[in-house]
Chains A and B, each alone.
Chain A
Amino acid sequence: MSSVAQKSGFGATLWDWLTTVDHKKIGILYLLGGLFFFVLGGIEAMIIRLQLITPNNDLVSAGLFNDLITMHGTTMIFLAAMPMLFGFMNAIMPLQIGARDVAFPFINSLGFWMFAFGGLFLNISWLFGEVPDAGWTSYASLSLHSPGHGIDFYAIGLQIAGGGTLMAGINFLVTIINMRAPGMTYMRMPLFTWTTFVASAMILFAFPPLTIGLFFLTFDRMFGGNFFDHTMGGNTIIWEHIFWIFGHPEVYILILPAFGIFSEVFSVFARKRLFGYTAMVFATVLIGFLGFMVWAHHMFTVGLGPTANAIFAVATMAIAVPTGVKIFNWLLTIWGGSIKVTTPMLYALGFIPSFVMGGVTGVMQGAAPLDYQLHDSYFIVAHFHYVIVGGVVLAIFAGLHYWWPKMFGTMLNELLGKITFVFFFVGFHLTFLIQHWLGFWGMPRRVWTFMDGQGWNLANFVSTIGALSMAIGFTVMVINIIMTTIKNERVGNDPWGDGRTLEWAIPSPPPFYNFPATPLVRGLDTLWIEKMEGSKEMITPAEPITDIHMPHGSIIPMLMTLGLFIAGFGAMFHQETSWGLGVLIFGLAFTFVTMAIRSLKDDLGYYVTKEQILQDQENIKRGRN
């Protein structure tokens, strides 16, 4: 950032954001994109809960209700939770390891645009009035049976977004393996970087199965395939296996970065080194491996037979062990710490009991015989919301408050942050705790309405009130964000005052080349070590300041994705229209042309000169005094 804010026109700013390959800006794009879809998914959730507030309600029709639950789940997992976590990974992880950017800035931007266009594609289904309606799991017999283009939107939209996710994952892996600053050994990496690493490795292995499954589904629905059609020799169960071979790792891809965020927050605000760092790393890796061995626990009732069920039940329960290790390490990190209850810390403290409850219900469901009772009941809904909202969403909110100053250079209001927490946290438990009992009392999940006199009325009413409270909390947060942005009070390097990791050693937001000179890392909690030694500059440079080589921005990633987006519509309409095939070919050709341009035209990048860096340094110093 040539920190003198140059006044530039709206067009230039827009162009800058469309073409950016800077990891910090892409991080912000991911975060805002994720927030947008979080709002959409949230509105869908509110309508679902309002429909279920009383028995025999007819706020929405049964068909629309199916659309709503499907889009709610799909949006929340693929378009809200993952992108927001990617936002933090992009913005923060390179800073934590002392890198100037991710390994492949161009691919990073491509990953973002694929997410954005994939999400757009999915949601355009609302305009067509033909919306995915077979649940976020889209089980094959049902999804093949679904009329209209709804499921086509699901298959193609997720294919595009999923490709972006895979690219982002590979990019993070290469970045962490190759671009750590001198001295940043694996066992000195902050936990958020570690969890990013393991989650990315899981993406690498889990997303190809999803890609294949979605292609099968696409062929079955749009190109006359019969992979899942048993009347033609296909097998409908394969979809379930493929989906869950992806799906279970996916839930850990979501929760591991959340664990990483909380690990940072705990040690910063307890002002203690993370307890059991080695055990934490080991547990993260172990969870990553075990996460691939348990997918069939989603299919206990399919009829795999007692042997298979027993094996998968035992494997499932094994995951609870490393998870437990983590919980105890967090507790022991807080233990005896000098605790500062800031907003992020509040979320972290709320996370522990909430997530433990979700873990316990998970182990209950992991017991195959019991799962025959629980499966497809509201108990399942309660379980996964306890882990996903009580784990992932709380972590996203914690990360949002914790890293907001680093990403935007302003500090979210603490009082409003705490108000958000209270409304959201109380609302969350109000909504989902009672759903465990709704499950016990026999209410099935994914039902449009229910009849009077089954003893479910009060519980459903309470649940809806809780959802309203969550919505109020979220609204307060949005107000907080808007107010903070308008006030625009700039903050320094380490606004929390207790930062331990490298990102807090540089300005907020950092200059676009991050580090004037690559830092030398001398141990875990790099910045903390410097602070303890009374270092003034807070960074020990590993090299003299020299010219820095940076990549140019590029519009090509967006155009490349646009081609796929167009091809998607072609694939969808080629059966009933004459122009479909042409559009499909045009879209793909367009993408290939952009790929060719990218390959043939080298981007040689440019240099930030030493003089400019020194000048920036000087400006920053002068600004500080």
Chain B
Amino acid sequence: MSEVQMIKRSPAEQSLSQRRAKESMRSQVAMFSLMIFLTLVSFSMVFAHLNDVPGFSKFFIIPTLFLFAAVQVGLQLYYFMHMNEKGHGIPQMFMFTGAMLGFLLPLTFVTIVWW
């Protein structure tokens, strides 16, 4: 099979792609640390709540956890699954459409089917 085609890179292209790779690696690591940090904070908050530390009430922790979760989903998609890079417009559109429907349809169900 002559499916594979070899194309030589020029030195400039080579250094550009190396720089790109380095940048993307740096942001990956940064985001990975951020996600670990958020996870640690989440666990600590719940731990604090269980140990009756004042200020860590349910009504503070639950919304904060949801917020952190949303941030983590975003980081996961955009940095680890490379959705922040070029050429992902169409997948993004389809994913958001799906997410929107996945949110709206159950919403109508809880409001008008089992009201």
Residue numbers of A with Cβ under 8 A of B are 177, 201, 204-205, 235, 237-238, 241, 245, 289, 292-293, 296, 304-305, 308, 604
Q: What separation, in Å, do the CA atoms of A238 and B112 have in the docked complex?
A: 10
- With A235-B113, A308-B111 given, is the CB distance from A604 to B1 under 8 Å? yes
Known: A205-B97, A245-B105. A305 touches B112 (CB 8 A): yes
> Besides the contacts A245-B105, A289-B97, A308-B112, what 6 more A-B pairs have beta carbons closer than 8 Å?
A238-B113, A241-B108, A296-B112, A305-B115, A308-B108, A604-B1
Q: Which of B1, B101, B111, B115 has the most CB of A within 10 A?
A: B101
Beta-carbon contact of A235 and B114 below 8 Å = yes
Please give the number of chain B residues whose Cβ is less than 8 angstroms from any Cβ of chain A in the complex. Answer: 15
Among B90, B94, B97, B112, the residue within 8 A (CB) of A304 is B112
Query: Which of B90, B94, B112 meets A204, CB within 8 Å?
Result: B94
Cα separation A289 to B100 with both chains bound (whole Å): 11
Q: How far is the CA of A235 from the CA of B112 in the complex (A)?
A: 13
Q: A residues within 8 A CB of B112?
A: 296, 304-305, 308
State in angstroms the CA–CA spacing of A237 and B109 once bound together: 10
Check if B74 is an interface residue, CB within 8 A of chain A: no
Closest to A304 in B: B112
Report the minimal beta-carbon distance from B115 to chain A, rounded to whole angstroms. Answer: 7
**Cβ–Cβ < 8 Å partners of B105 in chain A:** 245
| B104 partner residues in chain A, CB cutoff 8 A | 293
8 nearest interchain CB pairs?
Answer: A308-B112, A304-B112, A177-B90, A237-B113, A205-B101, A292-B101, A241-B113, A604-B1
The residue in chain B whose Cβ has the minimal distance to the Cβ of A292 is: B101
Residues of chain B with a CB closer than 8 A to A238's CB = 109, 113
- Max chain B Cβ within 10 angstroms of own Cβ: one of A205, A237, A604: A205
Chain A contacts for B109, CB-based, 8 A: 238, 241
Contact partners of A205 in chain B: CB under 8 A? 97-98, 101
- Report the nearest B residue to A205, measured CB to CB: B101
In the complex, how many angstroms separate the beta carbon of B25 from the nearest chain A beta carbon? 28
CA distance A307 to B25 in the complex (A): 52
B98 nearest CB neighbor, chain A only:
A205
Once the chains are docked, how many angstroms separate the CA of A241 from the CA of B106?
Answer: 11
- Interface of chain B residues 26 through 79 with chain A (CB within 8 A): none
Contacts of A237 in B (CB 8 A): 113
18 example contacts (A-B, Cβ-Cβ < 8 A) are as follows A201-B94, A205-B98, A205-B101, A235-B113, A237-B113, A238-B109, A238-B113, A241-B108, A241-B109, A289-B97, A292-B101, A296-B108, A296-B112, A304-B112, A305-B112, A305-B115, A308-B112, A604-B1
A308 → chain B, closest Cβ, in Å? 5
B51: shortest Cβ distance to chain A, in Å?
A: 41
CB-defined contacts of A245 to chain B, threshold 8 Å: 105
CA distance A201 to B108 in the complex (A): 22
A240 to chain B, nearest CB (A): 9
Q: Which residues of A contact B101 (CB under 8 A)?
A: 205, 292
Query: For the complex, what is the distance from the CA of A604 to the CA of B109, rounded to whole Å?
Result: 48
How far is the CB of A461 from the nearest CB of chain B, in Å?
42
A237 to B111, CA, bound (A): 13
Give Cα A237–Cα B114 distance, bound, in whole angstroms: 10
**CB-defined contacts of B98 to chain A, threshold 8 Å:** 205
Chain B: minimal CB distance from A244 (Å):
11
Quote the shortest CB–CB distance from A131 to chain B (angstroms): 31
Bound CA span A308–B98, Å = 22
- Shortest Cβ distance from A186 into B: residue: B90
What residues of B have a CB within 8 angstroms of the CB of A241 in the complex?
108-109, 113
A293–B97 alpha-carbon span in the complex (Å): 12
User: In the complex, how many angstroms separate the beta carbon of B93 from the nearest chain A beta carbon?
Assistant: 9
- Measured in the bound complex, the distance between the Cα atoms of B103 and A292 in whole Å is 13
B101, B109, B111, B112: residue with the most chain A Cβ atoms closer than 10 Å: B112
The complex places the Cα of A308 from the Cα of B111 at a distance, in Å, of: 9
Query: Which residue on A lies nearest to B90, using beta carbons?
Result: A177
- How far does the alpha carbon of A201 sit from the alpha carbon of B115 in the complex, in Å? 31
In the complex, which residues of chain A have a beta carbon less than 8 angstroms from the beta carbon of B113? 235, 237-238, 241
Give bound CA distance, A241 to B101, whole Å: 14
Query: Quick one: closest B residue to A308, CB to CB?
Result: B112
Q: Which residues of A sit under 8 angstroms from B97, Cβ to Cβ?
A: 201, 205, 289
Smallest CB separation, A18 vs chain B (Å): 27
B61 to chain A, nearest CB (A): 33
A289 to B112 CA separation, bound complex (whole angstroms): 21
Q: Name the distance in Å between A202's Cβ and chain B's nearest Cβ.
A: 10
A305: B residues at CB distance < 8 A = 112, 115
How far apart are B108's CB and chain A's nearest CB, in angstroms?
A: 8
Interchain CA distance A55-B90 in the complex, whole Å: 57
Distance of A206 from chain B, by nearest CB (Å): 10
Bitwise interface map of B from 1 to 13 toward A, beta carbon under 8 Å scored 1, else 0 = 1000000000000
B108: chain A residues within 8 A (beta carbon):
241, 296, 308
How far does the alpha carbon of A238 sit from the alpha carbon of B94 in the complex, in Å? 26
What A residues does B111 contact at CB under 8 A?
A: 308
CA distance A241 to B1 in the complex (A): 52
